Amino acid sequence: MEFNNNIPIYLQVIERIKQDIVSGKLKPGEKMPSSREYSNELGINFNTVARVYKELEMEEIVFTKRGLGTFITESDKQIEELRYTMAKNRITSFIEGMKQLGYTKKDMIKFIETENNYTEGNE
């Protein structure tokens, strides 16, 4: 994983894990690597991964079983809420950016339809 120097590493790791959950790469109930394993895999500090797991646990995206490790939530509702929140954040960011470029709602819809048709033709 390559990191952006302008965003704290722990936030980037949290975002990656969330993305992997909503995309299905990480499955409900799946065991996460230990903090040490994951820190070695990513080449980051152990304490950073511990913070990531703590933050995700506070958001109820993962849970810890003492002595067994950290696991992805088994709650379909929680995963669907996460997916919705992530999509909403991306749409909000897109809309704000397009408004800054001077696009109207109608322009944005047309732009999306045009780009969607283009990408569908290239699949």
Provide the 10 A C-beta neighbour count for residue 16: 15
Comparing C-alpha atoms, which of 29, 123, 13 is closest to residue 76?
A: 29
The pTM score is 0.83
Each residue's pLDDT tens digit, 2-59 = 898 999 999 999 999 999 999 999 999 999 999 999 999 999 999 999 999 999 999 9
> For residues 61 and 104, what is the distance between their CA atoms, to the nearest angstrom?
36
| The CATH number of the domain covering residues in 9-74 | 1.10.10.10
